[in-house]
């Protein structure tokens, strides 16, 4: 059978719709909110309401950035055989939206990383109670980044409440969201098995947003430091099982959320890099550079050869993104492919966006175009939800069959 590298037919209308939204709603306000860091992009309220409407009608599967439950995909998969489902739809629409603006996509109400965690692990009662909330996710602490198993924030059971104490930093949408999904340990001496996540609604006494960061890129997205000082939440706000299982199974479950969300970050990188490629191709052609897709790059101009090489690299990232999402839709274990997709797309997006600045010279560097902004925006995609080095570590462990204790 011939190999088709095009997007699946059934998802093309969704992709095209997302592209229109990116072009007509995100691009026009992109520079405004890059300059007005920490100002809330109110235009997104309308867009979020549209996405809510699509989700309620069932027509918007994959329209936003929310998570996907494996059990749901399985039931459908069992009935339908191999399928292109919500994960695939999500990566395709997110890539298009990030062709518009990554920072604005990250600021979309009710599409936070915390929403992915809730969608992935909350029980039926919690799903209902937390429906409609905009949830951010707080894992990182002043002393803990990549080594998330070492978090120090504690959650101690007191009657039918948990008392949370600690400090979280770099929480995306931490100020704007309605609730924060906080990772905390029930008992540090029990290691990673005792790490659980808790939904903490805004306004809960003891939770304080202390500051917002000033950043290199994605300035439209707020990034908050949050302190928890004897902050009490109902015991029923713990996501998943409260049991501390031997062997760290609970923690493995929490980490499994990333198998669904890493392809989404790969999609952000694919979209941002595509924006740079599209504009650079256009600027080069307007400057008289001839691109010939039927001849090797080596016999073309240096600028054309560089663009062709970047397009091929981008295609590799896109295919890994599609593969990881497709595997999730079909309930195949995809931890390695999710990390491969994020590692490749994160690296490629940084390389491509900066090389596009280089190829376009002063036009690339100036604020007259968005190329310099995309070079700044793309860097975070190779850092959050696991850095480039951490993704490579995960891939190496999987290939070599080594545990996290054996390969650090
Ligand atoms: C804009 C922004 C938004 C963010 N949003 C969120 C959010 O919503 N929620 C949240 O919880 N966190 C968030 N983060 C935090 C982000 O996930 C962390 O910055 C990231 O996990 C890296 O942690 P660190 O910064 O402490 O770096 P470190 O872990 O200290 O790493 C520093 C460097 O060492 C490398 N390194 C670390 N360990 C190894 C190893 N074993 N082998 C090889 N190299 C290694 C890393 O790759 C990196 O290059 C955000 C960060 C930023 C900047």
Among protein residues, the one with the nearest Cα to ligand 1's atom 4 is 170
- Separation of alpha carbons 90 and 120, rounded Å: 14
Strands (E), 204-332: 207-212, 223-234, 238-239
- Separation of alpha carbons 120 and 248, rounded Å: 18
- Separation of alpha carbons 107 and 120, rounded Å: 20
Among the listed residues 125, 245, 385, 406, the single catalytic one is 385
**Secondary structure, 3-state, 297-345:** HHHCCHHHHHHHHHHHHHHHHHHHHHHHHHHHHCCCCCHHHHHHHHHHH
- For residue 307, the model assigns a pLDDT of 97
pLDDT at 67 over 80: no
User: Residues 286, 360: contact at Cβ < 8 Å?
Assistant: no
- Separation of alpha carbons 226 and 228, rounded Å: 7
- For residue 61, the model assigns a pLDDT of 54
Confidence of residue 82 (pLDDT cuts 50, 70, 90): confident
**Mean pLDDT, residues 260-289:** 97
**Higher pLDDT, residue 291 or 3:** 291
pLDDT at 5 over 90: no
Atom of ligand 1 nearest to the CA of 113: 8
- Separation of alpha carbons 223 and 395, rounded Å: 29
Could you tell me what percent of the chain has a pLDDT over 70? 92
pLDDT at 76 over 60: no
Q: Is the dihedral of CA 48, 53, 54, 55 positive or negative?
A: positive
Query: Which of 271, 272, 295, 291 lies closest to 283, judged by CA?
Result: 291
**Mean pLDDT, residues 31-38:** 98
Atom of ligand 1 nearest to the CA of 146: 29
Query: Mind listing the pLDDT tens digit for each residue in 376-397?
Result: 999 999 999 999 999 999 999 9
Query: Mind listing the pLDDT tens digit for each residue in 151-203?
Result: 999 999 999 999 999 999 999 999 999 999 999 999 999 988 899 999 999 99
* 371: Cα separation from own chain's centroid: 21
HSE-up of 108 (CA within 13 Å, CB side)? 27
Ligand 1 centroid to Cα of residue 379, in Å, is 12
Instruction: Give the C-alpha distances (Å, rounded to integers) separating 104 from 37, 113, 172, 182, 386.
Output: 11, 14, 12, 23, 21
Ligand 1 centroid to Cα of residue 353, in Å, is 21
**CB-count exposure of residue 227 (10 Å: 0-12, 13-18, 19+):** middle
User: Residues 47, 107: contact at Cβ < 8 Å?
Assistant: no
pLDDT at 306 over 80: yes
Average of per-residue pLDDT values in the chain: 91
Ligand 1 centroid to Cα of residue 254, in Å, is 17
- Separation of alpha carbons 388 and 269, rounded Å: 13
**Higher pLDDT, residue 404 or 350:** 350
- Separation of alpha carbons 12 and 18, rounded Å: 10
Tell me the backbone φ, ψ of residue 125, rounded to 5 degrees. -65, -45
Residue whose pair of structure tokens reads 């999730």 in the numeric block: 328
**Mean pLDDT, residues 311-334:** 95
Could you report how far apart the first and last alpha carbons of the chain are, in Å?
A: 42
Instruction: Give the C-alpha distances (Å, rounded to integers) separating 149 from 5, 334, 379.
Output: 39, 21, 24
pLDDT at 58 over 80: no
Confidence of residue 55 (pLDDT cuts 50, 70, 90): confident
- For residue 230, the model assigns a pLDDT of 98
Q: Is the dihedral of CA 270, 276, 282, 284 positive or negative?
A: negative
Query: Mind listing the pLDDT tens digit for each residue in 287-305?
Result: 999 999 999 999 999 999 9
Among protein residues, the one with the nearest Cα to ligand 1's atom 37 is 146
Active site residue 367: no
| DSSP code for 141 | B
Ligand 1 centroid to Cα of residue 388, in Å, is 10
- Which residues are 158's β-sheet partners? 161
Query: Mind listing the pLDDT tens digit for each residue in 221-246?
Result: 999 999 999 999 999 999 988 988 87
- For residue 252, the model assigns a pLDDT of 72
Q: Which residues line ligand 1 (CB under 6 A)?
A: 113, 136-140, 145-146, 170-172, 215, 223, 380, 383-384, 387, 389-390, 393, 408
Among protein residues, the one with the nearest Cα to ligand 1's atom 25 is 145
- For residue 3, the model assigns a pLDDT of 67
Could you tell me what percent of the chain has a pLDDT over 90? 78
**Mean pLDDT, residues 27-51:** 96
Q: Would you call 194 helix, strand, or coil by DSSP?
A: helix
Query: Mind listing the pLDDT tens digit for each residue in 102-121?
Result: 999 999 999 898 998 898 88
**Mean pLDDT, residues 314-335:** 95
Confidence of residue 64 (pLDDT cuts 50, 70, 90): very low
Among protein residues, the one with the nearest Cα to ligand 1's atom 13 is 170
Ligand 1 centroid to Cα of residue 356, in Å, is 26
pLDDT at 321 over 90: yes
Ligand 1 centroid to Cα of residue 368, in Å, is 32
Residue whose pair of structure tokens reads 């560089």 in the numeric block: 306
- For residue 45, the model assigns a pLDDT of 95
Name the residue of 105, 145, 148, 382 to mutate for ligand 1: max ligand atoms within 8 A of Cβ. 145
pLDDT at 53 over 90: no
**Mean pLDDT, residues 334-348:** 97
**Mean pLDDT, residues 213-224:** 98
pTM above 0.85, yes or no: yes
Tell me the backbone φ, ψ of residue 114, rounded to 5 degrees. -60, -35
**Higher pLDDT, residue 189 or 64:** 189
Among protein residues, the one with the nearest Cα to ligand 1's atom 52 is 170
- Separation of alpha carbons 10 and 238, rounded Å: 38
Maximum distance among all Cα pairs of the chain, rounded to whole angstroms: 74
Instruction: Give the C-alpha distances (Å, rounded to integers) separating 227 from 156, 173, 263.
Output: 16, 15, 30
- For residue 134, the model assigns a pLDDT of 96
* 249: Cα separation from own chain's centroid: 24
pLDDT at 60 over 60: no
């Amino acid at each position: 059978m011939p190999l088709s590298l095009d997007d699946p037919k059934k998802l093309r209308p969704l992709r095209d719709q997302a592209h229109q939204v990116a072009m007509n709603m995100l691009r026009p306000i992109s520079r405004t909110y890059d300059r007005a860091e920490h100002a809330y992009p109110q235009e997104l309220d309308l867009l979020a309401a549209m996405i809510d409407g699509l989700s309620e009608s069932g027509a918007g599967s994959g329209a936003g950035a929310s998570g996907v439950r494996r059990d749901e995909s399985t039931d459908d998969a069992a009935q339908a055989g191999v399928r292109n489902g919500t994960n695939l739809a999500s990566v395709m629409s997110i890539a298009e939206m990030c062709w518009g603006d990554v920072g604005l996509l990250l600021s979309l109400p009710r599409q936070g990383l915390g929403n992915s965690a809730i969608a992935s692990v909350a029980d039926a009662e919690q799903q209902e109670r937390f429906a409609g909330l905009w949830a951010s996710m707080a894992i990182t602490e002043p002393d803990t980044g990549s080594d998330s198993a070492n978090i120090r924030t504690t959650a101690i059971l007191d009657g039918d409440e948990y008392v949370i104490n600690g400090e979280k930093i770099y929480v995306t949408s931490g100020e704007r969201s309605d609730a924060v999904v906080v990772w905390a340990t029930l008992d540090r001496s029990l290691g990673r098995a005792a790490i659980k996540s808790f939904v903490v609604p805004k306004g809960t006494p003891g939770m304080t947003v202390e500051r917002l960061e000033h950043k290199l890129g994605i300035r439209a997205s707020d990034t908050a430091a949050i302190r928890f000082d004897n902050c009490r939440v109902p015991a029923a706000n713990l996501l998943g099982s409260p049991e501390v299982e031997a062997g760290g199974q609970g923690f493995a479950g929490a980490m499994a959320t990333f198998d669904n969300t890493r392809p989404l970050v790969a999609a952000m990188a694919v979209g941002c890099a595509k924006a740079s490629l599209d504009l650079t191709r256009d600027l080069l052609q307007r400057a008289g550079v001839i691109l010939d897709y039927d001849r090797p790059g080596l016999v073309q101009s240096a600028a054309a050869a560089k663009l062709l090489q970047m397009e091929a690299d981008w295609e590799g990232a896109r295919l890994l993104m599609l593969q990881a999402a497709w595997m999730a839709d079909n309930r195949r274990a995809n931890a390695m492919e999710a990390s491969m997709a994020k590692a490749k797309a994160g690296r490629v997006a940084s390389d491509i966006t900066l090389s596009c600045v280089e190829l376009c010279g002063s036009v690339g560097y100036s604020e007259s175009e968005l190329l310099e902004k995309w070079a700044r925006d793309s860097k975070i995609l190779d850092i959050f939800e696991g850095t480039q080095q951490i993704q490579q570590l995960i891939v190496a462990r999987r290939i070599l069959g080594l545990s996290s204790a054996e390969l650090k």
